[in-house]
Homo-oligomer: A and B are copies of this chain.
């Protein structure tokens, strides 16, 4: 361990009034080796964290400040950026260039090809050299690279659930990567914390709909990572839906088998692939994930079943979009980079109900 009680890691959270920012503060509150030394917010600058969020009582002294880069630089050694995409590009570059460790929760450094980024986000990428230094922060795939990284592109919530669901099947050449269907359903916190009629209670409650059909920006991110696993360029059908719950993503994946396999064989493959992973729970035969079982935790639950009538592998994965799909994974990445115990700060159990 590189750390001790006397000298904690100084951490800043930029964009700390949104759901992922608040979630970072919640998780870091219980991290023994971390001290949050700065939080930024343009709108709430001058207010105390505790004033806005009484349950974050441990941060009694912490005051929001506007994001003035030069001022921030001295205040922390590691920066979590929970800013909107576009807004992150330059900030990441600045901090990284000044030798800070950066974990970026936006999409700005996830796509390795700036052309794809331009196509889906409608923005030019102005920091291509820095982009090349970014490591895609999915520990179950990139643990070794993450340990040595100084710049993490923290994965999107939908991609996390899709990639973890497909990784063993693709690596094991069990399924045809050219005909993958990824049907995802997300809780409303995935839309962010904002004044917007579309996410107001009465519009969402008792409703359910698909959105972003064919055009959702997580599509190229999923394709990039699955292509790497498949060893060839692939396209996927990815459809997100909006669930009337606070938290959670459940992703149902359909993949045509190209090897003979029954459910037990598939389960063995998955169990083996994730045997050493502290945050992936492969469920026994006949048990299926429920987003309620992973709420508030960094766990990804996975259930698999073979449909012998159609020769299809069906995979269901569940995560908390704000934890394993964002802030929890970001802290996991920090733990890896700093050489801390991987699970520090992330031991919280789901509560039930």
Contacts and interface: CB of A to CB of B under 8 A. Distances in A.
Interface stretch (A34-42, A152-160, A192-200, A329-337): A192-200
A179 interface: yes
Nearest to A54: B293
Contact of A252 (B55, B203, B239, B287): B239
Contacts of A208: 185, 243, 245, 248, 250, 290-292
A185 B207 CA distance: 11
Contacts of A344: none
Contacts of A29: 349
A314 B213 contact: yes
A183 B315 CA distance: 13
Interface string A236-250: 110101011111101
B23 A210 contact: no
Interface string A310-326: 10101010100000000
B239 A293 contact: no
A327 B152 CA distance: 40
A189 interface: yes
A162 B204 CA distance: 24
Nearest to A314: B213
Nearest to A55: B350
A26 B352 contact: yes
Interface in A225-257: 235-237, 239, 241, 243-248, 250, 252, 254, 256
A30 interface: yes
B209 A289 contact: yes
A286 to B, nearest CB: 9
Interface stretch (A66-74, A97-105, A140-148, A301-309): A301-309
A347 B30 contact: yes
A353 B17 CA distance: 12
A188 to B, nearest CB: 4
B296 A296 contact: yes
Contacts of A283: 54
Given A205-B201, A288-B211, A291-B209, A23 B351 contact: yes
A203 B309 CA distance: 31
The 10 tightest CB contacts between A and B, nearest first, are: A207-B292, A202-B353, A209-B290, A55-B350, A201-B204, A246-B353, A188-B201, A183-B183, A195-B197, A195-B195
10 contacts: A195-B200, A206-B291, A207-B290, A208-B245, A208-B250, A209-B250, A210-B252, A213-B307, A237-B312, A244-B245
